Chains A and B, each alone.
Chain A
Amino acid sequence: MSDSHASHGGGVKLYWIFCVILSVITFLEWAVFEYREPWGIGKVSLVVSLSIFSLIKFVMVVGWYMHLKDDPKMLKNTFIFSLLLASGVAAGLLALML
């Protein structure tokens, strides 16, 4: 583990920039959902846009706030492999249950 916060991709300024971006994305999620009819957003577009917003937030929090992008490969692999495996199990369950 690195003792330097800077080497962890951090820095207070960066955290606040990410904070603003995360807030804006959350606002956009709300706006896209609330105004889907006036803005003429179809179901497919809604699912795609909300999924992209969610994915961006996920990557930002895991990569920077959890510092995974600067962590040793072993930790990255532990998380990414488990996430992929869990996604596979979830997809399998979904296919079985739907």
Chain B
Amino acid sequence: MSAHMETVTGVDNRKFAMWSLIASECFLFGTLIVNYFVKRNRGLEGPTGPEIFDINLTTLSTFDLLMSSVAMVLALHYCRTKELRKMQAWLGVVVLGGAIFLGFQWYEFNHFVNLGLKLDTSVFGSAFYMLTGCHGLHVAVGVLWITSILITSLRKGEAWFNDTVIEVAGLYWHFVDVVWIILFTVVYLFVYI
């Protein structure tokens, strides 16, 4: 178990920092979601959401991200119980899940561009790519971060059981998942409304 320093707040400073970041991210995604919601039906250029969205595919990618969240919480559990192989295996599943999600998004963006929806095609296009692309960027950062944790663990083995590092990375990863839960509903399922 990692050593926890005494802090004024009684909360590990790294954990507090992550919750502060998450709090500020609420504003970022809140404004991007409103921007998308307002712009989605404006402008008649190019294809619209109902014409191009593939709900089956997006449901699969949503399920994938949810499962990676489960893997993350299991990795933290096995870090705390000091079961190295299980912890590393679940961290690997998180990275794989994140990479698969990015693959889905890459395919989806390419497909939409082929159908004529580019960043500059319409206000719907710019709002959609800005919102989902910003989320994708967060997923990519999470994948890189958790990969670096996994590599550190593989290199240092039993000498490295840092539950605070995994918990803080987990908070970030779960938040990315929570944002997608909202985006899946607002962007994809509210499309006909």
- A interacts with B: yes
Tell me whether A65 and B9 are in contact in the complex, defined as CB-CB below 8 angstroms, given that A58-B178, A89-B30, A97-B38 are known contacts: no
Tell me whether A19 and B184 are in contact in the complex, defined as CB-CB below 8 angstroms, given that A75-B15, A94-B37 are known contacts: no
Residues 55-79 of chain B, each 1 if its beta carbon lies under 8 Å from chain A, else 0: 1100100110011011011101100
Q: Is B45 an interface residue (CB 8 A)?
A: no
Q: Chain B interface secondary structure, helix, strand, loop or mixed?
A: helix
Residues 58-98 of chain A, each 1 if its beta carbon lies under 8 Å from chain B, else 0: 10011001100001101100110111011101100110011
Tell me whether A75 and B19 are in contact in the complex, defined as CB-CB below 8 angstroms, given that A5-B77, A33-B189, A65-B69 are known contacts: yes
For the complex formed, measure the closest distance between the CB of B100 and the CB atoms of chain A, giving whole angstroms.
15
Q: Pick the contact of A19: B70, B182, B190 (CB < 8 A).
A: B70
Q: Is B34 an interface residue (CB 8 A)?
A: yes
Tell me whether A1 and B181 are in contact in the complex, defined as CB-CB below 8 angstroms, given that A23-B63, A72-B11, A87-B30 are known contacts: no
Q: For this complex, into which size category does the number of interface residues on chain A fall?
A: 35 or more
Which chain B residues (140-193) contact chain A, with CB distance < 8 Å? 163-164, 167, 170-171, 174-175, 177-178, 181-182, 184-185, 189-190, 192-193
Q: Is B80 an interface residue (CB 8 A)?
A: yes
Tell me whether A82 and B81 are in contact in the complex, defined as CB-CB below 8 angstroms, given that A26-B66, A61-B177 are known contacts: no
Q: Is B22 an interface residue (CB 8 A)?
A: yes
- Residues of A close to B38: CB separation below 8 A: 94, 97-98
| Contact between A78 and B73, CB atoms less than 8 A apart | no
Tell me whether A90 and B30 are in contact in the complex, defined as CB-CB below 8 angstroms, given that A12-B77, A26-B66, A50-B185 are known contacts: yes
Minimum CB distance partner of B37 in chain A: A94
Tell me whether A15 and B70 are in contact in the complex, defined as CB-CB below 8 angstroms, given that A54-B181, A94-B37 are known contacts: yes
Most A CB atoms within 10 A — which of B4, B33, B181, B193?
A: B181
Most B CB atoms within 10 A — which of A47, A82, A83?
A: A82
| Contact between A29 and B59, CB atoms less than 8 A apart | yes
Give A residues with C-beta under 8 Å from B.
Answer: 1, 3-5, 10-12, 15-16, 18-19, 22-23, 26-27, 29-30, 33-34, 43, 46-47, 50-51, 53-54, 57-58, 61-62, 65-66, 71-72, 74-75, 78-79, 81-83, 85-87, 89-90, 93-94, 97-98
